[in-house]
Amino acid sequence: MAPKSFLPACLLAFTLQIFFFPPVSFSVSLLSNSNESSSMEGLIKLEVGCVNHPEDVSIVVSKGAVYTATRDGWVKYIILHNETLVNWKHVDSQSLLGLTATKDGDVIMCDNEKGLLKVSEEGVKVIVPNVSFANDVIEASDGTLYFTVSSTKYTPADFYKDMAEGNPYGQLLKYDPKSNQTTVLQEGFYFANGIALSKDEDFVVVCESWKFRCRRYWLKGDRNGTLDTFAENLPGGPDNINLAPDGSFWIALIKMNQTGVTAIQNCSEKWELLDAYPGLISLLLPMGSDGGARVVKVDGIDGKIIRDFNDPNATYISFVTSAVEFEGNLYLASLQSYFIGKLPLDAPNPELATI
């Protein structure tokens, strides 16, 4: 154990590195169509006070509804043409994360204690049990489910330890409903978070929050079973990702101090430092109501940023964790909010945000 007098010196050095050596910023060359970030000024708040800290959103097109799961165990949806909220099903859980709508209009969701759940008109059923820290899931057209496990070592309550350690404990898994078998397709992700399927279903994109990148796992063709980088040097840690109607992807980004994350991962006394000064985590990963929000749209082929919305001071919404596009609007979920955000995409002359 480090001497007590050594820890303040470590803290000082660590703080100096964060504040006097700014985070590595993304290159404007990543923006294929624009080098500006648009404000979220036009955001509309739906069902304020009725949606308890939603982490993800998904669209059931046949119903014209956006679905979400909340911290108090409710699966709810908003009928969008009249913005009516329906409290659909209640799950005995406070650990619901990513969800996806199925082709049959049901919902598959991740419970980071129970595993994968199927929610339908008949009720709630565990379909993949005993999966700890399942984070996000997507369904292919044949019913196959692809999902992420963020960490095989740490629990959701200790996610910050996964970040501090900086080792790749994340996984990509596949569930075959015909055989009822679950297979690990790929290991070695740095906090595997959101997952999305390409428009042609030839690959899935997996978000790696601690590496500020997304990687692509190929499902078809000559590259079947291989992994490559899809998007990197993102201006935040990627959380959930959703396919856009045009084949591109929307990614919700976590505001993080990239220099600080690297510094804590390389610090030999990291555990003593975090035990003595737990407030350091809020410097690295501001998750409170003042945590800024950012969403980017990336090209479906090369992963370059083609659109960018930013609310750096959480003026309109904070800590966005998911974004999905439907009929000209972007619907946003946030673990720090009590509403679903609705951001019109065709607003004229949007105000530019300070990046």
CA dist 129 and 146 (Å) reads 15
| Residue 10 pLDDT | 56
Buried b (16+ CB within 10 A) or exposed e, 218-228: bbeeeeeeebe
| Residue 279 pLDDT | 86
The one-digit pLDDT tens for each residue of the chain (355 residues) are 545 544 555 554 555 455 444 444 433 333 333 457 899 999 999 999 999 999 999 999 888 999 999 999 999 999 999 999 999 999 988 889 999 999 888 999 999 889 999 999 999 999 999 898 999 999 999 999 999 999 999 999 899 999 999 999 999 999 999 999 999 999 999 999 999 999 999 999 999 999 999 999 999 999 999 999 999 999 999 999 999 999 999 999 999 988 889 889 998 889 998 898 888 888 888 887 778 999 999 999 999 999 999 999 999 999 999 999 999 999 999 999 999 999 999 865 445 444 4
Contact 303, 231 (CB under 8 A): yes
For residue 254, give every residue at least 6 positions away whose Cβ sits within 8 Å of its Cβ, in sequence order, or none: 209, 236, 237, 238, 239, 285, 319, 321
Contact 284, 163 (CB under 8 A): yes
| Residue 15 pLDDT | 55
Beta-ladder partners of 297:
250, 307
Q: For residue 13, what are its two tokens?
A: 């050095």
- The full length of the chain comes to 355
What burial class does residue 333 get, using C-beta atoms within 10 Å of its C-beta: 0-12 exposed, 13-18 middle, 19+ buried? buried
For residue 83, give every residue at least 6 positions away whose Cβ sits within 8 Å of its Cβ, in sequence order, or none: 46, 47
Contact 240, 203 (CB under 8 A): no
